[in-house]
Amino acid sequence: MNKRSDGLPLLMLLVLNLTGCPPGRDPSAEGAKAVDDLAAGQVTPPSPAATEETPASEVSVLIPESEVYSETSDIYLQYGELRVRPGEAAFESPIRPWSGYWLPARSDYLFAGAGSPLAIWDSFVRALPLPRSQGGGAVQWEKTLYEQNHQPLSWEGACDAWAIASLYEFEPTEPRAPSRGTRLSVGAQKALLVRSWDWVEEKRVYGRPYRGDRESLWDEPSPAGFHRFMISELFEQSRPFIIDKDPGIPVWNTPIFGAFTRLRDDPVDINSVLVRTWLKGVDPLFHDPEEQKNPITWIELAYRLSGKRQADGSLRVTGGAWLQDEETGVDSTLFHPDFLVGLPPRGEVPAHGSFNPGIGEADWMEFRSRLGLSYRTP
């Protein structure tokens, strides 16, 4: 855990959608071969036929007119304009996320009982010679929050903390003892890791969460912005990323670590390509925190990229639209990402921590050391 540079963050509830988000689709036969290749580790490197990296001299030259004032315009400032060609490509990041309990706001799992994760944590802190957390009162803080939040929605939880923790933390695989007479199950270790990533500095969010008000845009991010982001983060940099996979009001943070994308010329418009993309991610554990599995979710998207055809045959993208594919049943006009999250700068562990003042930084680092936990840097 690293100390937040601007002091303690405001207390807030993190949200996860349970009711409004359809489950990940199984990949259709059209994408089955690429899916099998990904599963077998036979990944295809980024194909020049499918995408082109914008020359450095042209970075930030073109932001699609429809997005100049949108919350996703920073994608083009960060990565440059988008040019594509018909073709296909598949890639899987070596950083594979793990599944953990999403800590729903309606659950008392974290603090109920002497064997709860935070009860074991408080016991560990009280046994330290010089504990630096606030009296080891993590249980009381969490319980008070739980009691004050009288009617949390069914989808409220800590999915964003879980999603990023699953990328920076190695997955616990066996019970461990932080001190004599205590034992933390795999599920309890994951829960504490999730709680230690309540806030994170330097992650990049593209798109405005949909809130159903006048400022909310259902089609944001645009297909062009999404495609540029995906190509840059996953295919070019080999980095996983996070999306809210439901465009509605509830939030469903999902870590994505693989993708297969197919681009075909639009038969009725020379200045467009039709795209099918399959995103490979991991779902959280919904019911049993001790379940040891990593359920894969597939998110299938259909969209059009449009622009101006170049002399070399590439398409300089200036816009696009989410599509409904009646043949396969994929309707990306209704089901597409709501916002995109790029990880903090690579090669280092970002500053992060818990909202719970009973989980102090120095004590947490000692706890990690006792358990033999280490970070990875996607």
Beta-carbon contacts of 363 under 8 Å, excluding residues fewer than 6 positions away, are 124, 125, 128, 131, 132, 133
Residues 321, 336 contacting (CB under 8 angstroms):
no
- On whether residue 35 sits in a domain, the answer given is yes
* Residue 66, pLDDT above cutoff 80: no
Residue 210, phi then psi, degrees to nearest 5: -70, 130
Tell me the whole-structure pTM to 2 decimals: 0.84
* Residue 279, pLDDT above cutoff 60: yes
Residues 34, 90 contacting (CB under 8 angstroms):
yes
Q: Supply the DSSP symbol for 159.
A: H
Q: How far apart are CA 8 and CA 13, in angstroms?
A: 15
- On whether residue 370 sits in a domain, the answer given is no
Confidence of residue 128 (pLDDT cuts 50, 70, 90): confident
3-class DSSP assignment, residue 66: helix
* Residue 43, pLDDT above cutoff 70: no
Residues 330, 302 contacting (CB under 8 angstroms):
yes
Q: Which tokens in the block code for residue 320?
A: 């696009």
Count of the separate structural domains present in the chain: 1
Residues 308, 316 contacting (CB under 8 angstroms):
yes
What is the span of the domain harbouring residue 47? Answer: 29-99+204-342
- On whether residue 210 sits in a domain, the answer given is yes
Share of the chain above pLDDT 90, in %: 59
Q: Which tokens in the block code for residue 161?
A: 């903390």
Q: What is the mean pLDDT of residues 143-159?
A: 85
Q: How far apart are CA 368 and CA 373, in angstroms?
A: 5
Q: Which tokens in the block code for residue 262?
A: 């197919």
Place of tokens 């989410």: 322
Q: How far apart are CA 14 and CA 345, in angstroms?
A: 23
Q: What is the mean pLDDT of residues 17-41?
A: 48
- Helices 138-148 and 117-126 cross at an angle (nearest 10°) of 140
- On whether residue 183 sits in a domain, the answer given is no
- On whether residue 6 sits in a domain, the answer given is no
Looking at residue 280, what is its pLDDT? 97
Average pLDDT, the chain: 82
- On whether residue 219 sits in a domain, the answer given is yes
- On whether residue 176 sits in a domain, the answer given is no
* Residue 93, pLDDT above cutoff 90: yes
3-class DSSP assignment, residue 291: coil
CA dihedral 357, 115, 254, 345 (to 10 degrees): 40
3-state secondary structure 134-165: CCCCHHHHHHHHHHHCCCCCCCECCHHHHHHH
Cβ atoms < 10 Å from Cβ of 29: 9
- On whether residue 329 sits in a domain, the answer given is yes
Q: How far apart are CA 184 and CA 174, in angstroms?
A: 9
Cβ atoms < 10 Å from Cβ of 308: 12
Q: What is the mean pLDDT of residues 258-285?
A: 96
Q: What is the mean pLDDT of residues 221-228?
A: 92
Q: Which tokens in the block code for residue 206?
A: 């593209």
How wide is the angle at C-alpha 353 spanned by C-alphas 352 and 359, nearest 5°?
160
Q: How far apart are CA 351 and CA 202, in angstroms?
A: 8
Q: pLDDT tens digits, residue range 307-352?
A: 999 999 999 999 999 999 888 889 999 999 999 999 999 999 999 9
Looking at residue 219, what is its pLDDT? 65
